[in-house]
Amino acid sequence: LTIFEIIVTNNGEIDLDNVFVIEDSYGSGLVYVDYYNGTGNWKHMLNSNNKHQFNLIDTLKVGESKRFYVIFNTTELGNFTNTVLVGYDNVTLANSTNVTEVIGIEVNETVKNETVDQIVKRDISNATGNPLVILLLGLFVCVVARRFKN
């Protein structure tokens, strides 16, 4: 498992309503599991594009930060990037800047590398025609012995 902490800060001049965060993309080695609230009251849904969306139920006041955590299963080793989009839908339009800081928290796992020695047996002797020669010699002796009997 790995956990990403998503922090949304209002650096604007007005309070923000209906703040949302959308999981835009994450690595092929990540599989979404769940989320949990940090600060604020976040609700999860799949949006119309079938992407994970997290909606802040509270108002995000000027200078305030709210956070939540997204949990993923990892299907491969490596460093992963989780890209999110942040927006808001105020009833009253105003200019404002949202800053999103995404911090990846890695979980260290011990990987046991095993080396398997495999012994392959190969016959390195050259093939000979000895069995064929013996067979032909045996047939020849039988034929000659039969002629002497007759």
Q: Could you read off the pLDDT of 72-81 as tens digits, one per residue? A: 999 988 888 8
Q: Which residues pair with 56 in a beta bridge?
A: 42
Can you read off the two tokens belonging to residue 119?
């012994």
Q: Which amino acid is at 19?
A: V
Q: Structure pTM? A: 0.59
Residue 142 lies in a domain: no
Is residue 46 within 8 Å of 109, Cβ to Cβ?
A: no
pLDDT in tens, 84-134: 999 888 764 454 455 556 566 666 666 566 665 656 556 555 555 566 666
CATH classification at residue 36: 2.60.40
Q: Mean pLDDT over residues 35-52, rounded? A: 93
Q: Which domain holds residue 39?
A: 2-105
Residue 57 resides in a domain: yes
Q: What is the 3-state secondary structure (H, E, C) of 104-118?
A: EECCCCCCCCCCCCC
Would residue 144 count as lying in a domain?
A: no
Within a domain: residue 37?
Answer: yes
- Is 66 inside a domain boundary? yes
- Report yes or no: 87 and 98 within 8 Å, Cβ to Cβ: yes
**Within-domain flag for 75:** yes
